Amino acid sequence: MTNLKCTVESCIHNCPGRCCKPEIKVEGPMACDCEQTCCASFENKSAGGAMNSRGYNTPNEALQVACAAENCVYNHSGECSADSISITPCSCSTPDCKSATECASFRMK
């Protein structure tokens, strides 16, 4: 299990600094830096209604993180092996909601 810090306040699963889902997935199979990753579990609050309507309302200290970022040193057979990671708002500006996030802990192999 990975300790996850999430500062993406626009996500329906965010509960001040933590994620309320039991697991998330980080995308970015060909990523070479953080900006090329994203949290595939991100759901925009404005598009999805109230947080508790999704059934996840308890922040998790540690959770399962599936990882599709094949170039990341923490990716071990599709699972994140880092003790802790940080999901942050993406520093690039694209209209794609998933691109509004990034795994700030991504490190190139």
pLDDT (0 to 100) of residue 95: 47
Q: Which two structure tokens, joined as six digits, stand for 49?
A: 């209604």
Residue 27 and residue 69 in contact, taking contact as beta carbons nearer than 8 Å? yes
Q: Residue type at 62? A: A
pLDDT band at 93 (very low <50, low <70, confident <90, very high): low
Q: Residue type at 27? A: E
pLDDT band at 75 (very low <50, low <70, confident <90, very high): very high
pLDDT (0 to 100) of residue 97: 45
CA distance 81 to 76: 6
Rg (CA), the chain: 13
pLDDT (0 to 100) of residue 76: 97
Tell me what the pLDDT averaged over the chain comes to: 86
- On the question of pLDDT at 63 being above 60, the answer is yes
pTM above 0.75, yes or no: yes
pLDDT digits (tens, 9 = 90+) for 23-45: 999 999 999 999 899 999 998 88
